[in-house]
Amino acid sequence: MQNNTFSTLFVGQNLIKLKEVDSTNNFLKDLVSKSEPLAEGTVIMADNQFAGRGQQESVWQTQAGKNISTSIYLKPSFLPLDKQFYLNIAVSLAVSDALLCFVPEGIKVKWPNDMYYLDKKLGGILIENTLTGSSIKSSVIGIGLNINQKEFPDNISQRATSVIQILQKDVLLMDIMAKIFTFLEKYYLILRAGKYTILQNDYLAKLYNLNVWALYKQHGEVFEGRITGVEENGRLTVETKDGLKAFNFKEIEFTHTK
């Protein structure tokens, strides 16, 4: 259905609201495969997502009607395959900037694309690209954020937080969504213009644990390291006692073990 609530050019102008769905990403991918060409910027939003996914098939837990569970359809065919990570950067910056409109400090992006408040997780992003030849045909961008959920299961309560826990008051989900759409459009247009250095610098400025010595885990072994940057292909560079190392997704674990 058409929706002109948002002051954007295209992101969120076609908004489809659902009461319940297994995964907004799955719903949107299914819609793309079945329908006539879908308008770029189409958004799926669900009150309840009962099988939301994170990176590498991990499960994202959420309470119905309390949080943001949304997916956005983009067609970044202009983006070379070797620069795919810049889409991740653009989305991460958009979500973090949106959150900063409500939580004025303490918001960071934990590599590659989790949203953190201090040392606790506020949410995450899952980007699924469809490739054709040497370019990206389409991207489904899933965003899950803890907004008005006051309590979390015991197994994650020490590592998760929400906007209501931080501010001690409710925030309207659509107010945050509007900011996300505005900032996503901004950074997407920067990406389309090929201004990769701007995106890289902004991402590093918001990167959790940048230039901080902390403990990490690889293959079950804990080691001390200092994040020094992110390569163009998305690999995390970490200074260790054995020299500078680069890690792909899921090759390194952040740990708060003391």
Mean pLDDT by 10 residues, the chain (258 residues): 70 93 93 87 89 50 82 96 96 98 97 96 96 91 96 87 96 96 98 97 98 94 96 96 95 78
Residue 156 Rama label (left phi>0; alpha psi -120 to 50; beta): alpha
Q: Where are the domains of the chain?
A: 15-205, 213-254
Q: Which CATH number fits domain 213-254: 1.10.620, 2.60.120, 2.30.30, 3.90.550?
A: 2.30.30
Pairing state between β 43-49 and 68-74: antiparallel
The three-class DSSP label of residue 210 is: strand
Rounded CA-CA distance 132/137 in Å is: 6
Q: What is the pLDDT of residue 7?
A: 87
Order of strands, edge to edge, in the sheet holding 15-21? 15-21, 43-49, 68-74, 135-145, 120-132, 114-117, 107-110
Q: What is the pTM (predicted TM-score) of this model? A: 0.92
State residue 1's pLDDT score: 42
Secondary structure (3-state) at 13: coil
Q: What integer pLDDT is reported at residue 2 of this predicted model? A: 44
CA distances (Å), origin 227, targets 95, 112, 130, 218, 219: 22, 12, 30, 14, 18
Q: Which of 182, 185, 196, 189 has its CA nearest to residue 84?
A: 196
What secondary structure letter does DSSP report for 105? S
CB 3 within 8 A of CB 115: no
CATH ID of 15-205, from 1.10.10.10, 3.30.930.10, 2.70.150.10, 3.30.300.130? 3.30.930.10
- pLDDT of res. 258: 43
Distance CA 108, CA 122 (A): 10
